[in-house]
Amino acid sequence: MPTTTRAPATRRTPPVLDLDARLALTGAVMTARLDEAAVAYEVNTAHLPGADPIPHIAETLPRPPAAAPSPHRTPVADLLHRARQRIESAGWCRDAVRDEAGAVCPIQAIRLESRGDRDLAHDACVALLDAIQERFPAADTIPSWNAQQRTAAPVIAAFDRATQHTHTHNK
């Protein structure tokens, strides 16, 4: 009687998906769920005489306006200019690095705009602290001074002074 042997069962590992593939799958699942919810809404409100139809939601978000190009050619002045613009657009935060609404503190604005260049961010923070200490000699650090401010106006003014100083001194 002939005997046959089977190869041991191999366990297949699921394929590793990259971020784009996972986002596409999640998007497809969410679209299916939203379609199902829309049908359920229509069924559940069909008997109501004044029920509003589901509002149309734009599929693409409008693009934010392009930031004005920096008038400064030096790297530190350019970074301070961009950080100031970030605070103006995202909002100013005084007691935290970032708040729930997306507002940022001065140091976080500099870090985000430095795009990972730590030396450039350090130089910009030094320039900002120097500009702050020109008007407020008792200010020890940027965060301690920032926490004492009541509005964004002094912060924006400090950024302007630091930007102007670094621009005129080619930093």
Question: Over the stretch 73-109, which tens digit does the pLDDT of each residue have?
Answer: 789 999 999 999 999 999 999 888 888 888 999 999 9
What pLDDT does residue 50 have? 64
- Rounded percentage of the chain residues whose pLDDT exceeds 90: 35
CB 159 within 8 A of CB 79: no
Q: pLDDT digit string (tens) for 33-86?
A: 988 988 888 877 776 666 555 555 555 555 555 556 667 678 999 999 999 999
Q: Among 15-29, 108-122, 153-167, which stretch is predicted with the lowest mean pLDDT?
A: 15-29
Q: What is the pTM of this model?
A: 0.59
Residue 7 above 70 pLDDT?
no
Instruction: Tell me if residue 170 falls in helix, strand or coil.
Output: coil
Across 8-27, average pLDDT: 80
- For 26-68, the DSSP string reads HHHHHHHHHHHHHHHHHHHHTT-TTPPPPPP--SSPPPPPPPP
The owner of tokens 């693409």 is 60
Q: State the chain's mean pLDDT as an integer.
A: 83
Structure confidence at residue 68 (pLDDT): 61
pLDDT of residue 24: 87
Burial of 130 per CB tally in 10 Å (0-12, 13-18, 19+): middle
Looking at residue 49, what is its pLDDT? 67
Residue whose entry in the numeric block shows the structure tokens 């670094």: 166
pLDDT score at 2: 64
C-alpha 108/C-alpha 65 separation (Å) is 22
